[in-house]
Amino acid sequence: MIKIYLDWNVLSQMKNGQHTELKEILENDNLFLKFYSTSHITDIYSSFKETDEQRKLIDSDLDFISQITKNKCLYNSTDGKVIAGDYDPKELFQERVEQKDLFNDISIDGLSELFNSSEVGKELGIPIMESLKNIPLDPSFKEAFEKPESKEMMNRLFPGLKDNLTMEGWFNYFNKMLKGLNDGEDYKELRNIIQESTNLNRDKIFNSSDPYSFLDNHYKKFGGERKTPSLESKHSPEWFNEISNEYVQLDMHGYQEDRVKINKGRKETFQNTTEDSFHAAFASTCDFYLLNDKKAFNKTSKVYDELKINTWVQKPKEFIDHYNKFLSSRDYKLHLQIFMDLISSNNFIEQKTDSGLFYTMYPPIYLFDFFNKITRFEGVDGAKLTYLSQNKPTNYFVTFLEIKNLVQRLEEFFGLDNDGSGELTKDEFYKEEWKKRVWSINESLSLRFQANNYHAQLYFDIEKEPAGNNG
């Protein structure tokens, strides 16, 4: 199966009658495994209002996500992993609604009110809040607010903090900052501060063909270096933070920067940019990321190129063309013929190792709707191997449904394996090593399907002819 991650703008447009050919293509649930994520829920929640009309519209959005993805959801777990599971979008959305006021106010007073709502909170939380109130901030803050060369920038960066240089003042500032970024237009000012403080001309980088080189060269002129802001979360993997941080950094420096406005039409704030960055991170687990927003498309493409993320970033029309050219055939006899043609070609990448020579090819077609990597190996000891595997997404995972469907597809084409093993079970899938399945094609050729550490491979085993008798 081919993993697809669809941005909310594509899903929303499909729901409203656009991209009909794409919708028809994606209805093949045996070929495509389609995912949504918690960021889709946040996208929809941004328009949430306590009205019957708005709730009906949101319910229809969530129903459409469920229809397209079959509730396949990507989310960050509490132990810092991205999980692929089955989750009803309506359940996730309801959880989001119920939690909307939980940390709406993270000032000292707001947190104290939260702790006061339970006896345990009163006993444990309130004393901590009271002790924090009067702890002074580092003296360097006071110095920076007083120095002529830095006080203006400090007041722009930390408005109101100079009047209360304690932890209470810091919590109050941080609470106001988050609200201003996610609910107001403060991100516009923050972005301006970053660009002004680094003497960056936004107009020059906005449409740059190579924004990373532009930034590297710009910072070198001032004796510095480009650094990605550290917006880390213990609830997401390091690679997830890296992708989302790189995305936000490009926007902050002005490359394809997002519009920030709250007064007319759809509210657009820093939260939109951060959720787009999370979409880019979640999508790196899939084969294809489909989106139709020009700025998000460009930023994601540049981040993927910079970090060498192995996921196709395509607009709906590009994917449709790609599908019609390479992915539309369910004729597995043709797949096998394509494989035989490719294996005899000279389009392999050669790599020499101590054990022998590897020849690798990455065809655009997914053979048996799964394999998109062909490897030949010629060992120094005379051993020869030919096998199919996956050119995996950078942040790869594999699901039981993918392998179950693959085994079923192989059995439908080649028949039951030699041992009559039948379909792959969940118990077998979750073992470290699956039972091998072997098909004898003829006297000299057999196919062997196996996996180690969830990496599925299909070997083409050619029997050596016995040596002739010269006696």
Q: Looking at residue 167, what is its pLDDT?
A: 77
Q: How far apart are CA 278 and CA 154, in angstroms?
A: 30
Q: Residue 22, class by beta-carbon neighbours within 10 Å (0-12 exposed, 13-18 middle, 19+ buried)?
A: buried
Which tokens hold the place of 282?
A: 């979640």
Q: How far apart are CA 53 and CA 49, in angstroms?
A: 9
Task: Write down the pTM of the prediction.
Answer: 0.86
Q: How far apart are CA 182 and CA 157, in angstroms?
A: 16
Q: What string of pLDDT tens digits covers the 471 residues of the chain?
A: 999 999 999 999 999 999 999 999 999 999 999 999 999 999 888 777 777 788 888 999 999 999 999 999 999 888 888 999 999 999 999 988 877 665 566 666 766 666 666 676 666 667 766 776 778 878 887 888 888 878 887 888 788 888 888 877 777 776 777 777 777 888 888 888 888 878 888 899 999 999 999 998 888 887 677 765 555 566 788 999 999 999 999 998 999 998 988 877 677 888 889 999 999 999 999 999 999 999 999 999 999 999 999 999 999 999 999 999 999 998 999 999 999 899 888 889 999 999 999 999 999 999 999 999 999 999 988 888 999 999 999 998 889 999 999 999 999 999 999 999 888 888 888 876 778 899 998 888 899 998 877 789 999 987 655 444 444
**DSSP class of 324:** I
Q: Looking at residue 177, what is its pLDDT?
A: 72
CB 58, CB 48: distance < 8 Å: yes
Q: Residue 458, class by beta-carbon neighbours within 10 Å (0-12 exposed, 13-18 middle, 19+ buried)?
A: buried
Q: Looking at residue 425, what is its pLDDT?
A: 87
User: 88-124: buried (b, 16+ CB within 10 Å) or exposed (e) per residue?
Assistant: ebbebbeeeeeeeeeeebbbbebbbebbeeeeebeee
CA 302 to chain centre: 14
Largest CA-CA distance found in the chain, in angstroms, rounded: 103
CB 316, CB 293: distance < 8 Å: no
CB 388, CB 365: distance < 8 Å: no
Q: Looking at residue 280, what is its pLDDT?
A: 97
Q: Looking at residue 469, what is its pLDDT?
A: 46
Q: How many CA atoms lie within 13 A of 51 on its CB side?
A: 6
Handedness of CA 130, 134, 137, 142 (dihedral sign): positive
Q: How far apart are CA 447 and CA 414, in angstroms?
A: 9
Q: Looking at residue 95, what is its pLDDT?
A: 87
Cite the DSSP H helix spans in 313-390: 316-322, 332-343
Q: Looking at residue 433, what is its pLDDT?
A: 73
Q: Looking at residue 108, what is its pLDDT?
A: 67
Q: Looking at residue 470, what is its pLDDT?
A: 45
Cite the DSSP H helix spans in 269-378: 270-283, 294-307, 316-322, 332-343
Question: Which residue in this structure is represented by tokens 């030949």?
Answer: 376
